[in-house]
Structure 1
Amino acid sequence: MTLSNAARLQFLSAIHPYDSMEPALLQSIAEAIEPQHFAPGAQIYGLSVPLSGLYIVHDGEVEVRDEHGVPVSLLGPRNSFGERGLLRDGVSLTSARAITDSTLLLLPADHFHRAMAQSPAFRRFFDRSRAPRPGKPDLATIRVEELMARAPLTCAPETHVQHAAEQMRDAHVSSICVTESGSLRGIATIRDMSGKVVAGGLSGNTPIAQVMTADPLTLPPSAIGSDVLHMMMERRIGHIPVCHGDTLVGIVTQTDLTRFQAVSSAELVAEIAHSGSAAEMATVTARIPQLLAQLVAGGNRHEVITRLITDIADTATRRLLALAEAELGAPPVPYLWLACGSQGRQEQTGISDQDNCLFIDDTMTDADAPYFAALAQFVCDGLNTCGYVYCPGDMMASNPRWRQPVRVWREYFNGWIKTPNPEAQMLASVMFDLRPIGGTTRLFEDLQAETLAKASANSIFVAHMVSNSLKHTPPLGLLRGFATIRSGEHKNHIDLKLNGVVPVVDLARIYALQGRLTQANTAARLEAATASGVLSKSGGRDLRDAYDLIAETRLEHQAAQVRSGARPDNFLSLADLSDFERSHLRDAFVVIKSMQSAVGHGRGMLG
């Protein structure tokens, strides 16, 4: 088939990003393009045929396969392919062949790179790196290490309170951290000095250790500013030491936050923390969809939005635990409430059910069981009232199976690892996302490390987990590279959660298992897997970019539904997307399918 320059120019002018180019640049591209015909079954590029440029499908169908020969996309007219190899200096991990008689337009590599340099629209379209959205830093994005005072006032435990007070006066600060060999032991504030020393009539020679708050709440330098604000509002404190492990590295106070505007999520956290019942909390959590829409409109990244929304669920859970203890009395033995699922990963959106469990100290007796049954029912009922509906699979602490002493939980994990049947794979997948919410954290710490070590060392269990992680596949098919839902309420839609976010969540969990990584959050797992070498830098970058695009598309979809007065869901109509958006979304799904193929072939990394 012969295409005139005018025909090529007309074809390109109807495709993004060529429709945004300067006329002179578009003209030069049209002149440089080489029409090529391929018969059915002909290879376009691959191991024996090097990639020489960017291909655009004029007519026909093209199948793209990954390095293992697994089909990842079927492309039709107006679709482009091959750019990933051009962005990797000509090295491509995919191959392509014609399915039907096909006419392709080849843009040579040198002209592709010239267009990347000269056209911002072209560069944005083909460069998959998704840099953080620009904007003024706020508490939702700034890290604690940027907020904290790096040389907090300190003293030894034996320091007299009078001398400590003199130090605080001379330094014009309202607190002093008590340390021993660099490790934080406690904190004393002006309130402690007035309320415990002066009002209590203590001698000025009293050791500071007697009036300090021992083992205070702390945050790591990697926490974000909203973590500080939420902790202060929920716990009614004004000073938070910052520690790297046990070592004190800084402190954040209320005055450190005054130059930043509090995000609206902090208001919800504060209201929930001071609520007297689940019904009161429900009036607050009902505003979460509107909060999501506001955060999306503000240009916040998806991991910031889901973190802030999850903070609200965490606060509601801890408040319900406190209300339960107020009603039932003090717990007979230590316990730990943990979240799994999206709350465990800190990835909640505008729609979330509850997934949780209860670890109880091994000193628990049969006589203690009714207390914890009542506590679990109180909290699960309260969460349901707040809109975190009961788990359809009954994976909640109100179910006796998920409310057990630590020794039983150890037996659970050991059994799942030794006998990885389908149920064990499913349960292990959920439980590897556990995150402590309220109670005694030591009940989980040793068990988490022990379980990761045993699981990663069992190759059969890992293989079963890998197989289980590949059950959710991206929606790639025949229609412009997408496979939509064929029937029912969501016909002709794609499920951005089940077929977009979940496959990445599953992959990240496998990387965490292989690397014995303790992170539960998906983005954090991908970063840790890349840093530890479990995932290659190029594979990690590509998968993170794909995850970012899909997760942000999901939140933008939910925000649009909220603004229109509809209930948010995960089902997206492709008709709502532009060619530009469809192309990027398809490429993101191709990345995920390629990474699934790599894991399925026994490789934890790609590229």
Structure 2
Amino acid sequence: MPLPAALTQFLASVHPYDSLPDPVLAHVAQQCALHNVAVDERLFSLGDTVSSLYIIVSGEIEITDEAGVQLSILGSRNSFGERALLRGERASRSARATSASEVIALPAEVFHQLIDQHESVARFFDRRRPPPRTGNSLASLTVEQLMTRAPVTCTPETPIRDAAALMHRHHISSICICDPDGFHGIVTLRDLNSKVIVGGIDPLEPISGIMTEDVLTLAPQALVTDVLHLMVERNIHHVPIVNERGLLGIVTQTDLTRAQALSSADLVGRIARAEDASEMARATAQIPQLLVQLVEAGNRHEVITRLITDIADIATRRLLSLAEAQLGPPPVPYLWLACGSQGRQEQTGVSDQDNCLILSDDLTDAQMPYFAKLARFVSDGLDRCGYFYCPGDMMATNPRWCQPLRVWRGYFQTWIAKPDPEAQMLASVMFDLRPIGGDKSLFDHLQSDTLEAAAKNSIFTAHMISNSLKHQPPLGLLRGLATIRSGDHRDELDLKHNGVVPVVDLGRIYTLQGRLRPVNTRARLEAALAAGLLSASGGADLLDAYDLIASMRLELQTKQIKAGQAAGNYLNPSSLSDFERSHLRNAFVVVKTMQSAVGSGTGTLG
């Protein structure tokens, strides 16, 4: 087979080139060269100009950083060199063959043309690049994202009266008619009115007698605009969604209205006006749908988690207001604070509540029951809204975390002076505190004074560093990923505790070392980079690694929500392409390298 044809055939089996039109793929192959690389031969070294993207056909290529630390060993169908090409920089890594290899060299100018002209290629190589922004436009949504899953159904033999009762009970305007043979039709409130109430059909007759059989349906892959156009053209208000297996869901005019209106601002407004926790819960129940829309609109992970966290903040402040309306004005000033993911403004599709109360030192014992009731009212309300109770009881309902300011000062002084394991754990949680509602002056000096005292105590800092290294990236021997070995999540990766949390812990250590004020993890890394706690290259690598892991976690949760599952953190690496697995592993290697630097106390990292 001629070389261009052979290259075309190989590239057609490698993503993202398999997404290219045949003429484009053939043209790309004609521009490529195939190189045989001997053992120990270098494709490029630190500081070299990288002139090509390399795609491995066979063999193995080792990638090392500026310190000679192995970052990855890449095999067939993996690419390398894109980092320097995307950044327009000289190589910050070295690439060496560890076995006799064949590699395809794709010239830099061709690579950049593909990036500029083909979104699938651009998104594959640069995960930070957002897709075309469409916001909440209906044009950007598929029916599958919007439809009501598992709609209420009945059999064709069901009496009309019983079907009407089902509709009333579920507060719906239509019911789908199904049996083991499949989907047969639909009955709407308009049918009941025109055929039964006005038309006089006996309500004890089977529902099949009034159902619409030749129903206009759509497939789940259709665009929501297809639904809208169908409704307008045919003057209908309900569109069943079916595939070869039968009925999957239904889209109504109400669903369309909700899709157009749903935004974080919409949810915030509804929560801020809510009269009780139940009304708030109806709004927060839409957070998973909002998460999907934010991810699929191409927003960065730190923007998405900030918007999601804002909703929790508003819910907390509204509950505090409702509590005061019920209990009366607070007897002394107080401050409600969040810690954990809410404190760091990093909430995703699944979150518990971590919070506490700082009370004025003017508090008397007789006034304490007021704040116990306030804490219970707010925590119960948050649980009703989907922010479930903290398994470790790190909540204001625990008397230990509902105390005057002087007690809180004593807590931090004791933790710093005697950093036993419990003190390390508690300090890690409490260093992520962020004021939510109340008198913020109760926290200002506490935060700055605590950071100052902690940074000056080298023993405490050393213990905190040791504690931060307990969460390790899931790296296996050679070039594998270390998946969970048993239990419900066997052969999966925990993208929270072994992915995001190690970076969160690093950010907290940099905060202590530099007396930095940010609480958000990415803001902490940026502040550490600006303060010289991280070298330019080390900081850039860690930010890139964190962005990839955090984004992959949100993408996982989006897929789970769209599949009708609860959002979670466990990823099966077999669901990733070779390229994605390689880059995820590289991100974990960066995190592990930075952990080693912190643990060894080498000063400016990276």
Do Structure 1 and Structure 2 share a fold, with TM-score over 0.5?
yes
In structure 1, what is the Cα distance between the partners aligned to 2:46 and 2:90? Answer: 14
What is the aligned partner in structure 1 of residue 411 from structure 2? 412
Q: What is the identity, as a one-letter code, of the residue corresponding to 2:114?
A: S
Confirm whether residue 105 of structure 1 aligns to residue 105 of structure 2: no
What is the aligned partner in structure 1 of residue 26 from structure 2? 23
Maintained 8 Å contact 1:64/1:97: no
Q: What is the identity, as a one-letter code, of the residue corresponding to 2:26?
A: P
1:409-448 maps to which residues of 2 (within 5 A)? 409-448=408-447
What is the aligned partner in structure 1 of residue 114 from structure 2? 119
What is the aligned partner in structure 2 of residue 163 from structure 1? none
What is the aligned partner in structure 2 of residue 209 from structure 1? none
Q: CA deviation at 1:126?
A: 8.4
Maintained 8 Å contact 2:123/2:131: no
1:75-94 maps to which residues of 2 (within 5 A)? 75-81=74-80, 84=83, 89-92=89-92
| Cα distance change, pair 580–66 in 1 and its aligned pair in 2 (3 A) | closer
Q: CA deviation at 1:518?
A: 1.0
What is the aligned partner in structure 2 of residue 152 from structure 1? none
In structure 2, what is the Cα distance between the partners aligned to 1:603 and 1:127? Answer: 32
Maintained 8 Å contact 1:351/1:568: yes
Q: CA deviation at 1:83?
A: 5.3
In structure 1, what is the Cα distance between the partners aligned to 2:286 and 2:476? Answer: 38
Maintained 8 Å contact 2:305/2:345: yes
Partner deviation per Cα, 1:352-398 (whole Å, 9 max, x = no partner): 00000111111222222222222212211221122111111111111
| Cα distance change, pair 414–491 in 1 and its aligned pair in 2 (3 A) | same
| Cα distance change, pair 602–16 in 1 and its aligned pair in 2 (3 A) | farther
1:180-191 maps to which residues of 2 (within 5 A)? none
What is the aligned partner in structure 2 of residue 308 from structure 1? 307
In structure 2, what is the Cα distance between the partners aligned to 1:113 and 1:46? Answer: 14
Partner deviation per Cα, 1:537-577 (whole Å, 9 max, x = no partner): 33333322322222222222212222221111111222333
Q: CA deviation at 1:471?
A: 2.3
| Cα distance change, pair 64–422 in 1 and its aligned pair in 2 (3 A) | farther
Name whichever of 127-136 and 423-432 sits farther off.
Answer: 127-136
| Cα distance change, pair 105–467 in 1 and its aligned pair in 2 (3 A) | farther
Q: What is the identity, as a one-letter code, of the residue corresponding to 2:102?
A: L
Q: CA deviation at 1:464?
A: 2.5
The alignment covers a number of residue pairs equal to 474
Maintained 8 Å contact 1:496/1:554: yes
In structure 1, what is the Cα distance between the partners aligned to 2:134 and 2:279? Answer: 34
| Cα distance change, pair 571–418 in 1 and its aligned pair in 2 (3 A) | same
In structure 2, what is the Cα distance between the partners aligned to 1:88 and 1:466? Answer: 35
Confirm whether residue 560 of structure 1 aligns to residue 555 of structure 2: no
Maintained 8 Å contact 1:321/1:379: yes
What is the aligned partner in structure 2 of residue 130 from structure 1? 128
In structure 2, what is the Cα distance between the partners aligned to 1:458 and 1:129? Answer: 40
Q: CA deviation at 1:340?
A: 0.3
Q: CA deviation at 1:73?
A: 3.7
Gaps of 5+ in 1: 139-260
In structure 2, what is the Cα distance between the partners aligned to 1:332 and 1:48? Answer: 65
What is the aligned partner in structure 1 of residue 37 from structure 2? 36
What is the aligned partner in structure 1 of residue 185 from structure 2? none
TM-score of the aligned structures, taking structure 1 as reference length: 0.69
In structure 2, what is the Cα distance between the partners aligned to 1:536 and 1:103? Answer: 35
| Cα distance change, pair 135–123 in 1 and its aligned pair in 2 (3 A) | closer
RMSD: 3.5
| Cα distance change, pair 133–57 in 1 and its aligned pair in 2 (3 A) | closer
What is the aligned partner in structure 1 of residue 399 from structure 2? 400
What is the aligned partner in structure 1 of residue 149 from structure 2? none
Q: What is the identity, as a one-letter code, of the residue corresponding to 1:35?
A: N
Maintained 8 Å contact 2:333/2:360: yes
Q: CA deviation at 1:94?
A: 6.3
Partner deviation per Cα, 1:18-68 (whole Å, 9 max, x = no partner): 555643443443x3x432343xxx696999999988765555666655556
What is the aligned partner in structure 1 of residue 274 from structure 2? 275
Q: CA deviation at 1:441?
A: 0.3
| Cα distance change, pair 45–424 in 1 and its aligned pair in 2 (3 A) | farther
1:245-256 maps to which residues of 2 (within 5 A)? none
Q: CA deviation at 1:534?
A: 2.6
In structure 2, what is the Cα distance between the partners aligned to 1:134 and 1:278? Answer: 37
In structure 2, what is the Cα distance between the partners aligned to 1:581 and 1:293? Answer: 21
Confirm whether residue 338 of structure 1 aligns to residue 337 of structure 2: yes
Maintained 8 Å contact 1:508/1:526: yes
Q: CA deviation at 1:97?
A: 7.7
In structure 2, what is the Cα distance between the partners aligned to 1:56 and 1:473? Answer: 30
In structure 2, what is the Cα distance between the partners aligned to 1:411 and 1:70? Answer: 44
In structure 1, what is the Cα distance between the partners aligned to 2:464 and 2:69? Answer: 20
Partner deviation per Cα, 1:300-322 (whole Å, 9 max, x = no partner): 22222212211111111112212
What is the aligned partner in structure 1 of residue 375 from structure 2? 376
In structure 1, what is the Cα distance between the partners aligned to 2:501 and 2:122? Answer: 26
| Cα distance change, pair 68–370 in 1 and its aligned pair in 2 (3 A) | farther
What is the aligned partner in structure 1 of residue 365 from structure 2? 366
Q: What is the identity, as a one-letter code, of the residue corresponding to 1:475?
A: P
1:475-494 maps to which residues of 2 (within 5 A)? 475-477=474-476, 481-494=480-493
Maintained 8 Å contact 1:18/1:26: no
1:201-280 maps to which residues of 2 (within 5 A)? 264-280=263-279
Q: What is the identity, as a one-letter code, of the residue corresponding to 1:36?
A: V
What is the aligned partner in structure 1 of residue 212 from structure 2? none
In structure 2, what is the Cα distance between the partners aligned to 1:66 and 1:464? Answer: 29
In structure 2, what is the Cα distance between the partners aligned to 1:299 and 1:85? Answer: 24
SS of residue in 2 equivalent to 1:359: strand
In structure 2, what is the Cα distance between the partners aligned to 1:11 and 1:330? Answer: 72
| Cα distance change, pair 64–581 in 1 and its aligned pair in 2 (3 A) | closer
| Cα distance change, pair 92–527 in 1 and its aligned pair in 2 (3 A) | closer
* Greater relative contact order, per chain length (Cα 8 Å cut-off, separation 6+): 1
| Cα distance change, pair 55–266 in 1 and its aligned pair in 2 (3 A) | closer
Confirm whether residue 585 of structure 1 aligns to residue 584 of structure 2: yes
In structure 1, what is the Cα distance between the partners aligned to 2:276 and 2:564? Answer: 28
Q: What is the identity, as a one-letter code, of the residue corresponding to 2:267?
A: L
Gaps of 5+ in 2: 137-259
Confirm whether residue 462 of structure 1 aligns to residue 457 of structure 2: no
In structure 2, what is the Cα distance between the partners aligned to 1:496 and 1:508? Answer: 17
What is the aligned partner in structure 2 of residue 513 from structure 1? 512
| Cα distance change, pair 298–135 in 1 and its aligned pair in 2 (3 A) | closer
Maintained 8 Å contact 1:35/1:104: yes
